[in-house]
Amino acid sequence: MNMIVITDHNEAVPAHPTEFYDIVERSKAERKELIDFLTQIEEKAHGISGISNRDILLQSLRDLLKENNPLSKRLNTYVSRQRKAVYPFLIQYFNLSTGPSIHHSFWKLERDLGLVENYMESFTDTIDFLSFKADEKQITGILRHLTQACQLMKQYLREDDILITPLSEEVLTDMDYFYS
């Protein structure tokens, strides 16, 4: 159990805030924001699939790609920070294996992330080469790749939370006991 201090703003913070605490809290907030944004993109993709006018449909796809670019940057920033600051620290702190596992593991997170990257690349590469001659089947396939990428990324973020949060809480508790 973390020792916490209640601030004037009713925020619970550890008795001894650390850089690791800041990273954990930032990650929690970003995970929620990213999941919400991914859900919005996914809903827009479903909405686009109902457009019957080809010109409007193709323009909507390109607009969706433009919206996807900032999302991709935010996701890359999040993943990069997790890979550089959080995962190595927790792996070393708890002496965890990075090998294959069917349970929640860092290996599984990396594997899932690879799938997300493949679907996202497929979506962006296909849109780049999309012509006005694209048929409905191709367009449906493009939208499926995007929705699949969104679903997999949301799953990755949830798995990240399931794996990271309990370990991080234990580290923060240990830090509080150390400084108390």
Residuewise pLDDT in 10s, the chain (180 residues) = 444 444 444 556 666 778 999 999 999 999 999 999 999 999 999 999 888 887 888 888 888 888 888 888 999 999 999 999 999 999 999 998 888 877 788 888 999 899 888 888 888 777 766 665 677 778 888 888 889 999 999 999 999 999 999 999 999 999 888 877
pLDDT at position 131 is 62
* Residue 70 domain boundaries: 4-179
pLDDT at position 61 is 85
pLDDT at position 14 is 67
The whole model's pTM is what? 0.84
For the chain, the DSSP string reads ---EEE-TTS-EEESS--HHHHHHHHHHHHHHHHHHHHHHHHHHHHHHTT---HHHHHHHHHHHHHHHHHHHHHHHHHHHHIIIIIHHHHHHHHT---S--SSS-HHHHHHHHHHHHHHHHHHHHHHHT--TT--HHHHHHHHHHHHHHHHHHHHHHHHHHHHHHHHHHHHHHHHHHHH-
Indicate the number of domains in the chain: 1
pLDDT at position 96 is 87
